[in-house]
Chain A
Amino acid sequence: RKEVEQDPGPFNVPEGATVAFNCTYSNSASQSFFWYRQDCRKEPKLLMSVYSSGNEDGRFTAQLNRASQYISLLIRDSKLSDSATYLCVVTSGFQKLVFGTGTRLLVSP
């Protein structure tokens, strides 16, 4: 079983739609969780950290469910510029980040 699993998508949504991605992780000892964004042929960049209490950054909301070992990302009012691959990331051991294979999002006009 992969340490971090994501639905690869693609998720095709119209502009303005709300879309949610889930990610599951296998290591119950993982302490830190993140969402990274990767544009086509570019490097990954940190989108947001995920806190136990849930956190919001503008149109983006991240949630963590430790009991079920999953993380979610909600994007409201999707923009064309949100089209990208979203990578779920968890820590595995000391200072070691493990990336999921990513979920691809396509936002159309």
Chain B
Amino acid sequence: DAGVIQSPRHEVTEMGQEVTLRCKPISGHDYLFWYRQTMMRGLELLIYFNNNVPIDDSGMPEDRFSAKMPNASFSTLKIQPSEPRDSAVYFCASSDRAEKLFFGSGTQLSVL
């Protein structure tokens, strides 16, 4: 298996633009997580899905953030409009039992 695949690896955008991050989980994993990592706050859970259904989105910072999982093999995290404070590394992770997480390589987002 190729592992969790995220795209793009790097995204540079201007404030106010829409940003879409993509994730393909490991086949057969029922759980999918979106995390954000910054130096100051570490890894923060934004939202997680079980069987494509959002279970806990309490970590989503505000309405500018939205996440979808239309099927078992694809998820998106969208930021609209983006702001400089959204700059971070965004990780997607999947799991078959929500304990051992397999992370993707992350998307380094820079909002200018």
Name A residues whose Cβ lies closer than 8 Å to a Cβ of B: 32, 34, 42-46, 49, 87, 91, 93-102
Interface class of chain B by DSSP: strand
User: Of B41, B56, B99, B106, which one neighbours A43 at CB under 8 angstroms?
Assistant: B106
- Of residues A42, A46, A91, A97, which shows the largest number of chain B Cβ atoms within 10 Å of its Cβ? A97
Shortest CB-to-CB span from A33 to chain B, Å, is 10
Contact B48–A96 (Cβ < 8 Å): yes
A31–B20 CA distance with the chains assembled, in angstroms: 34
A100 contacts which chain B residues (CB < 8 A)?
A: 42
Q: How far apart are A104's CB and chain B's nearest CB, in angstroms?
A: 11
CB–CB B55/A98 < 8 A: no
Contact A32/B99 with A95-B48, A98-B45 known, Cβ cut-off 8 Å: yes
Kindly report which residue of chain B lies nearest to residue A36, judged by CB atoms.
Answer: B101
User: Number of A-B pairs whose CB atoms are under 8 Å?
Assistant: 45
B binding-site residues for A, Cβ under 8 Å = 31, 33, 35, 41-43, 45, 48, 50, 55-56, 91, 98-101, 103-106
Q: Which residues of B contact A94 (CB under 8 A)?
A: 55
- Contact A44/B55 with A95-B50, A97-B98 known, Cβ cut-off 8 Å: no
- The residue that A99 contacts in the complex, of B43, B98, B100, with Cβ under 8 A, is B43
Nearest A-chain residue to B43, judged by Cβ: A99
Residues of A with C-beta under 8 A to B31: 95
Contact of B103 among A43, A95, A96 (CB under 8 A): A43
Min CB–CB distance A105 → chain B (angstroms):
16
Q: Which residues of A are found within 8 Å of B33, using beta-carbon distances?
A: 97
Q: Is the CB of A45 within 8 A of B99?
A: no
**Cα distance A102–B31 in the bound complex, in angstroms:** 24
Q: Are B105 and A34 touching (Cβ within 8 A)?
A: no
- Knowing A46-B100, A49-B99 are in contact, say whether A99-B106 is a contact too (CB < 8 A): no
Is the Cβ of B42 less than 8 Å from the Cβ of A99?
A: yes
